[in-house]
Amino acid sequence: MTPAYLDPRTGRTFPLATPRWRSDDGNPLLLTPLPGIARTEIDRDTRSLWRYRRALPFGPEVVPITMGEGCTPLIERRLDGVRALLKLEWFAPTGSFKDRGASVMLSGLRAQGVTAVLEDSSGNGGAAIAAYAAAGGMRAKILVPAATSPAKIVQMRAHGAEIERVPGSRQDCAEAALRQAERVFYASHNWHPFFLHGTKTLAYELWEDLGFRAPDNVIIPCGAGSNVLGCEIGFGELLRAGAIARLPRLFAVQPANVAPIVAAFLAGRDEPVPCEIGPTIAEGTAIAQPIRLREVLGALRASEGGAVAVTEAEIEAALFALARIGIYVEPTCASAAAALARLHASGTIGAEETTVLVLTGTGLKATPRIAELMGMTL
Alpha-carbon gap, residue 223 to 162, rounded angstroms: 24
pLDDT number for residue 7:
97
Domain boundary, last residue among 177, 192, 207: 192
| 280 and 238 part of one domain | yes
Quickly list DSSP for 50-116: GGGGGGSS--TT-----SS-----EEEEEETTEEEEEEEGGGSTTSBTHHHHHHHHHHHHHHTT--E
Domain boundary, last residue among 192, 209, 243: 192
Q: Which domain holds residue 117?
A: 98-192
Q: What is the pTM of this model?
A: 0.96
Q: Cβ distance 129 to 106 under 8 Å?
A: yes
pLDDT one-digit tens code per residue, 336-354: 999 999 999 999 999 999 9
| 165 and 288 part of one domain | no
Residue 1: pLDDT band (50, 70, 90) is: low
Asked whether residue 202 carries a pLDDT value surpassing 90, the answer given is: yes
Give a yes or no: residue 247 inside a domain: yes
Number of structural domains in the chain: 2
Give a yes or no: residue 280 inside a domain: yes
| 227 and 367 part of one domain | yes
Non-local (6+) Cβ contacts of 36 within 8 A are: 55, 236, 237, 238, 239, 240, 241, 243
Angle subtended by helix axes 201-209 and 226-240, to nearest 10: 60
| 186 and 307 part of one domain | no
| 286 and 340 part of one domain | yes
Non-local (6+) Cβ contacts of 33 within 8 A are: 236, 237, 240
Domain boundary, last residue among 128, 158, 192: 192
The enclosing domain of 82 has a CATH number of 3.40.50.1100
Residue 11: pLDDT band (50, 70, 90) is: very high
| 167 and 271 part of one domain | no
Residue 377: pLDDT band (50, 70, 90) is: confident
- Phi-psi region at 219: left, alpha or beta (left = phi > 0; alpha = psi -120 to 50): beta
pLDDT number for residue 122:
78
pLDDT one-digit tens code per residue, 241-280: 999 999 999 999 999 999 999 999 999 999 999 999 999 9
pLDDT one-digit tens code per residue, 89-111: 999 999 999 999 999 999 999 99
pLDDT one-digit tens code per residue, 116-134: 999 998 788 999 999 999 9
Q: Which helix (H) or strand (E) holds 206?
A: helix 201-209
Tallying the residues shown for the chain, one arrives at 378
pLDDT number for residue 108:
97
| 226 and 350 part of one domain | yes
pLDDT number for residue 170:
81
Mean pLDDT, range 62-66, rounded to an integer: 97
| 223 and 317 part of one domain | yes
| 205 and 316 part of one domain | yes
| 227 and 326 part of one domain | yes
Give a yes or no: residue 282 inside a domain: yes
| 169 and 282 part of one domain | no
Residue 358: pLDDT band (50, 70, 90) is: very high
